[in-house]
């Protein structure tokens, strides 16, 4: 078995020296009841990426409104339409929130995102099921009407 190489005098200067108190503080820091908070360091972050403009954020909101409008057209009535001025107003009122949070949910909402996404998925499944049932019932009515029309034509002939 080979022993570690002895430290040469020129390497000795490179060794860090800590007091016994430093070592105790370091060892005790593992037992702290609080988590590390990077916001309490004096390290300054690198340049932040350029934030999204209000116009771009309003465009994102407007696209979401158009998707909602399309869904409502399918669900409620084929001629449903958002008022264009109101949709634009909503887009510009919501846009600062998109810019503020960078397109992510606010910090107070983040812990509930799993629940929100689960509710959204369940709601979407329920909605699509309702639409399918509505379509099937409409097809049944059309089939019955066609069968009645055929019976009426046979009786008339």
Reported as a single tens digit per residue, the pLDDT across 92-114 is 999 999 999 888 888 898 999 99
One-character DSSP codes across 86-144: HHHHHHHHHHHHHHHHTTSPPTTTGGGHHHHHHHHHHHHHHHHHHHHHHHHHHHHHHHH
Residue 92 pLDDT: 93
pLDDT on residue 102: 85
pLDDT averaged over 10-residue windows placed end to end, the chain, 157 residues: 62 66 75 60 51 86 92 85 92 92 87 93 89 91 87 73
Give the per-residue pLDDT at 112.
93
Stretch (H or E) spanning 33: none
Distance CA 88, CA 62 (A): 7
| Separation of alpha carbons 24 and 66, rounded Å | 61
pLDDT confidence of residue 119: 94
pTM comes to 0.48
């Amino acid at each position: 078995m080979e022993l570690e190489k002895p430290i040469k005098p020129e390497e000795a200067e490179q060794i860090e020296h800590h007091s016994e108190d430093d070592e105790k503080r370091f060892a005790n820091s593992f037992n702290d009841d609080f988590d590390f908070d990077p916001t309490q360091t004096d390290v300054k972050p690198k340049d932040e990426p350029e934030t999204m403009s209000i116009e771009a954020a309003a465009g994102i909101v407007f696209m979401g409104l158009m998707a909602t409008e399309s869904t409502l057209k399918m669900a409620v009535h084929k001629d449903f339409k958002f008022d264009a001025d109101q949709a634009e107003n909503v887009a510009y009122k919501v846009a600062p929130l998109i810019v503020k949070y960078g397109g992510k949910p606010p910090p107070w909402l983040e812990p509930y995102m799993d629940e929100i996404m689960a509710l959204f998925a369940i709601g979407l499944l329920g909605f699509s099921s309702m639409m399918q049932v509505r379509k099937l019932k409409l097809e049944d009515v059309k089939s019955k009407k066609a069968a009645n029309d055929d019976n009426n034509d046979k009786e008339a002939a």
